[in-house]
Structure 1
């Protein structure tokens, strides 16, 4: 499970399974239902489903903006991203992106949405509010994606190319690539100094130093690790 904490302390949890993804606000959770092409909204206080929202086909990633007003869902079979208005729990826009979109991440200011396209070796950049879309070339089979807390860099995993691509959000340019074996999911530490990438093929987690960008450690874990999580703690964990 991947946990991403937005600036207003909303909790964004994403599971490693493609069958469902979870994104959580303080009062509601948004679950992508891969088998029924819908998003379930759960009231976390009452523990009940309050809405079921039809979206595209082959749901994968989900992210909530830091303002708590929009939910972004990738539809891998339709090559689209659905935009859900939280106030009305309805889809207000559907945007075409690259082939087989998987992960999705939102910058802390909510002005840019990044989508990892596993089938086209690109990351789509959606600029808000104009929804202008551009594509940045990355490696093969891009699945995981994460934005650093400062909103200045985006990290995408490229499992087929054995690398992590680093995108500068100012110019949306692929500024560098870090080599590592078959990365899948990815997360940035709360202080932005480390990036953690899982490798199911190597049963390992790679740790990247964001000051100098080499892999500084490889940690052996259990079989087929997919998700990676970070939370906010009183003492920063590295």
Structure 2
């Protein structure tokens, strides 16, 4: 039934002018809040697995994938109905997640097992398990989907993995306890957010070397880039702030107060706004990217995390 449903929706034309949505994981009450970014209102509260953390979206497949770290599975959400289609087993402690653009395959960071799981989204079958460094967290695919980038928190490196073979191509030392990562729109720079060293490592994806290190706030966690990659937004969990970085010169150009313990960060190109999930405030803070000013606070669920690119656009 899952196979039929998947392909049925992949052939449905997207709604014309449909507003962008944000899918916010709420670890404290096992839900995902769906936020209509045009109205800044919650349009659905979706029950998922236990302790949801990570988010990956596929506009092409009309799917959102949610990691549930305590129940050890991934909830697959249909974005047309905002209902869970299925729960797919995903190791012991799934945290980070990313998906191919077509939604056919997703990759999960199995935190305590120190491995990456490659899973067929249609059948739910595990295709491969890749042994990796300690405590894998943030995941991203290269723009051509040939390389998987993995932030390994407890080994202080970022791994490059060949997606066709599962071979580890490189391990790049970064700062202390890398967690979130973000990839520039052109795919040439990977940004590693290093929690304990309070900085961001900038990796050249061609040379696989760190080319810059950017100081940010206390205990940075996640990052997102704007549409042209000229601005990097970094959440600082212990400072309750968001750092705005000019990526041309790797300098912080603004720092603003957001909600308490900010974690996940997303950017909407449609609205030119930044969205920050705040764990202790149970809300999303909205920042106008043109002015770097906070313009709204949206109540969500308990202990909002939203780890990963959580905004669905072009649907």
TM class by smaller structure: 0.7 to 0.9
- RMSD between aligned residues: 2.3
Task: Report the equivalent of 2:76.
Answer: 41
- TM-score normalised by length of structure 2: 0.67
Q: Contact 2:231–2:244 at 8 Å: present in 1 too?
A: yes
Q: In terms of Rg, which structure is larger?
A: 2
Distance 1:47 1:225, change over 3 A: closer
- 1:216 aligned onto 2:249: no
Task: Identify the structure with bigger relative contact order (alpha carbons < 8 Å, sequence gap 6+).
Answer: 2
Distance 1:107 1:175 in 2: 18
How far off its partner does 1:232 sit? 2.4
Deviations 1:157-191 (A, max 9, x none): 11111110011111211111111232111111111
Q: Contact 1:14–1:62 at 8 Å: present in 2 too?
A: no
Bigger CA drift: 225-234 or 129-138? Answer: 225-234
- 1:54 aligned onto 2:89: yes
- 1:152 aligned onto 2:185: no
Distance 2:113 2:22 in 1: 24
List runs of 5+ in structure 1 lacking aligned partners: 1-8
Q: Contact 2:58–2:101 at 8 Å: present in 1 too?
A: no
Task: Report the equivalent of 1:4.
Answer: none
The within-5 A match list for 1:198-209 is 198-209=235-246
How far off its partner does 1:45 sit? 2.8
Task: Report the equivalent of 2:144.
Answer: 109
Tell me which of 55, 59, 76 is aligned to 1:22. 55
Distance 1:83 1:35 in 2: 19
List runs of 5+ in structure 2 lacking aligned partners: 1-13, 15-19, 28-50, 274-288, 291-315
Classify the secondary structure of the residue corresponding to 2:263.
Answer: coil
Bigger CA drift: 22-31 or 195-204? Answer: 22-31
Task: Report the equivalent of 1:135.
Answer: 171
Distance 2:209 2:58 in 1: 31
Task: Report the equivalent of 2:204.
Answer: 168
How far off its partner does 1:118 sit? 0.9
Distance 1:107 1:115 in 2: 11
Distance 2:272 2:260 in 1: 29
- 1:183 aligned onto 2:216: no
Tell me which of 67, 72, 77 is aligned to 2:112. 77
How far off its partner does 1:141 sit? 1.2
How far off its partner does 1:14 sit? 6.8
Distance 2:66 2:87 in 1: 9
Distance 1:13 1:122 in 2: 28
Q: Contact 2:74–2:87 at 8 Å: present in 1 too?
A: yes
How far off its partner does 1:124 sit? 1.2
Deviations 1:80-117 (A, max 9, x none): 11111233232111111110011111122111111111
Distance 1:127 1:145 in 2: 18
- TM-score normalised by length of structure 1: 0.88
Bigger CA drift: 10-19 or 108-117? Answer: 10-19
Task: Report the equivalent of 2:311.
Answer: none
Distance 2:182 2:116 in 1: 17
Q: Contact 2:58–2:102 at 8 Å: present in 1 too?
A: no
Task: Report the equivalent of 2:126.
Answer: 91
Q: Contact 2:226–2:269 at 8 Å: present in 1 too?
A: no
Deviations 1:143-166 (A, max 9, x none): 111111101110011111111001
Q: Contact 1:66–1:108 at 8 Å: present in 2 too?
A: no
Q: Contact 1:122–1:138 at 8 Å: present in 2 too?
A: yes
